[in-house]
Homo-oligomer: A and B are copies of this chain.
Amino acid sequence: MTSTARARAVVLVSGGLDSATALAMAQAAGYQCHALAVDYGQRHDAELRAARRVADAAGVPLRVVGIDLRAIGGSALTDDIAVPEGPTEGIPVTYVPARNTILLALAMAHAEVLGAGDIFIGVNAIDYSGYPDCRPEFIRAFEVMANRATRAAVEGREMRIHTPLIEFTKAEIIRRGMALGVDYALTVSCYQADGEGRACGRCDSCRIRRAGFEAAGIDDPTPYRRD
């Protein structure tokens, strides 16, 4: 390795606010980043287009892996189940079974092919909407498993799962991203964005995002649709 070679990292990007921030933080930490987006049969492709915009703005390559999670079912994000527009309790219907396990498994595969030992995922245990696979105990268990799973592990190279946002509030995420120059107008968080990526302003994800900009004292750049 020459003195100018930087360690490679795979960064999972969804097109949303959190993963755009995680990408900026991975770059700020000096990693040569490779973005990975997963097309898991989301009900709209606005977020995949947003992922492309985020990767392009950061100047990093983006790989998109297609996986048909509709064959598995069980989520309002992949099935014809209505997305709730009010506050919900417990694990919401927008939970995609095993989603972060699947995303991290694909990131692990991509990292192995690239010779990267670092994976970034923008999960968040504070404003996490009640998803079990956003909790620190899940991430640590995944990391242990990853270090038993791969050719790299057998050869003694460790795999690290970075969750730079895990203890941040949404407002803290936004402030950190703004400081790093993230353009949040490029991102889509809404569970039911329209074809132009405009947000509904009412779903769980929109409400958390909007409240985050308010708490951060930053003007919300999200394009909302009028309906």
Q: Chain A residues in contact with chain B, CB under 8 A?
A: 63-69, 71-74, 91, 95-102, 105-106, 108-110, 112-113, 132-133, 135, 137-138, 141-142, 144-151, 153-154
Please tell me how many copies of the chain the complex holds: 2
Q: Which of B73, B95, B98, B148 contacts A106 (CB 8 A)?
A: B98
**Measured between alpha carbons, how far is A188 from B203 in the docked complex, in Å?**
47
Q: Which residue of B lies closest to A67 (CB)?
A: B67
- Whether A67 touches B68, Cβ cut-off 8 Å, given contacts A74-B113, A97-B108, is yes
Q: Is the CB of B145 within 8 A of A73?
A: no
**Measured between alpha carbons, how far is A63 from B73 in the docked complex, in Å?**
11
**Measured between alpha carbons, how far is A14 from B135 in the docked complex, in Å?**
32
Q: Which of A67, A68, A98, A144 has the most CB of B within 10 A?
A: A98
**Measured between alpha carbons, how far is A97 from B106 in the docked complex, in Å?**
9
Q: Which residues of B contact A112 (CB under 8 A)?
A: 74, 97-98
- Whether A69 touches B109, Cβ cut-off 8 Å, given contacts A132-B150, A151-B132, is yes
**Measured between alpha carbons, how far is A109 from B65 in the docked complex, in Å?**
18
Q: Which of A100, A144, A148, A154 has the most CB of B within 10 A?
A: A148
Q: Is the CB of B154 within 8 A of A132?
A: yes
Q: Which of B113, B138, B151, B154 contacts A148 (CB 8 A)?
A: B138
Q: Is the CB of A64 within 8 A of B71?
A: yes
- Whether A141 touches B132, Cβ cut-off 8 Å, given contacts A109-B97, A112-B98, is no
**Measured between alpha carbons, how far is A57 from B106 in the docked complex, in Å?**
32
Q: Which of B72, B141, B144, B146 contacts A113 (CB 8 A)?
A: B72
Q: Which of A63, A73, A145 has the most CB of B within 10 A?
A: A145
- Whether A108 touches B101, Cβ cut-off 8 Å, given contacts A64-B71, A132-B150, is yes
Q: Which residues of B contact A74 (CB under 8 A)?
A: 109, 112-113
